[in-house]
Chains A and B, each alone.
Chain A
Amino acid sequence: DQQVKQNSPSLSVQEGRISILNCDYTNSMFDYFLWYKKYPAEGPTFLISISSIKDKNEDGRFTVFLNKSAKHLSLHIVPSQPGDSAVYFCAARGYNNNDMRFGAGTRLTVKP
């Protein structure tokens, strides 16, 4: 069962503009959410996370927003840079869960 869903397989934006990647989840027991970035032939790299007690977490150009009532989170990248082009995975886990549940990923392309 797909407990974490990323419904957009790809996204293309112009350099300097905002990139918004979306993620939905179904399991209300999830209370910690993460975004990973993956380049070809490399493993996923941790980008940013958010706990369910918050609705926003910011780190430089990256901001994650969490809407618990809608079971929805989004990653905003602004301004987008060509080096941001990668596949972005949304992931979720419960407090005592050992496994992370990943979405299928969104391929972001930032055009110069």
Chain B
Amino acid sequence: GAGVSQTPSNKVTEKGKYVELRCDPISGHTALYWYRQSLGQGPEFLIYFQGTGAADDSGLPNDRFFAVRPEGSVSTLKIQRTERGDSAVYLCASSLLGGGRDTQYFGPGTRLTVL
């Protein structure tokens, strides 16, 4: 079935570089979420899109992180001037409508390693 897909599956970059991580949500899902999972931790919320707009970006750690969803479907998480502490698995999830009771479906994640 067509679940949430994320590309690339792995990304290795050098400190200070810029990276883009892509998420393709389930077709028809209006809500899209980005999470970050560090080693030994659970996923940590970063940002939530409802349609094209970022409805809640309170989880973004600083202004080096930015995400877009220009057509209300595919989303890109952008990280500028990467730091070693950005190394983590970045998970994307989508849900049909959003809201507290909607089930979120996760993609396999992108493992980012900053050297």
Tell me the dominant secondary structure on chain A's binding face: loop
Q: Whole-angstrom distance from the CB of B14 to the nearest CB of chain A? A: 24
Within 8 A of B (CB), among A67-112: 89, 91, 93-105
The yes or no answer to A62 lying at the interface (CB within 8 A) is no
Contact across chains for A32 and B101 when beta carbons are under 8 A apart: yes
Contact residues on B (Cβ < 8 Å of other chain), bracket: 20 to 34
- Contact among A44, A96, A101, A105 with B100 in the assembled complex (CB-CB below 8 Å): A96
Within 8 A of A (CB), among B14-41: 33, 40-41
- Contact among A42, A46, A101 with B103 in the assembled complex (CB-CB below 8 Å): A46
Interface size on A, residues (CB 8 A): 29
CA distance A98 to B56 in the complex (A): 7
The yes or no answer to B112 lying at the interface (CB within 8 A) is no
- Contact among B40, B41, B91, B100 with A32 in the assembled complex (CB-CB below 8 Å): B100
Using A89-B42, A93-B100 as known contacts, say yes or no to A45 and B106 having CB atoms under 8 A apart.
yes
Contacts of A51 in B (CB 8 A): 101
Using A98-B48, A98-B56, A104-B40 as known contacts, say yes or no to A43 and B100 having CB atoms under 8 A apart.
no
Contacts of A66 in B (CB 8 A): none
Contact flags A4-19 to B (C-beta < 8 A → 1, else 0) = 1010010000000000
The yes or no answer to B66 lying at the interface (CB within 8 A) is no
Contact across chains for A99 and B100 when beta carbons are under 8 A apart: no
CA distance A15 to B87 in the complex (A): 36
Contact across chains for B56 and A99 when beta carbons are under 8 A apart: yes
The yes or no answer to B43 lying at the interface (CB within 8 A) is yes
Contacts of B93 in A (CB 8 A): 43
Q: Whole-angstrom distance from the CB of A110 to the nearest CB of chain B? A: 21
Contacts of B33 in A (CB 8 A): 98-99
Contacts of A89 in B (CB 8 A): 42-43
CA distance A100 to B59 in the complex (A): 11
**CB within 8 Å of A: which residues of B?**
4, 33, 40-45, 48, 55-56, 58-59, 91, 93, 98-101, 103-109
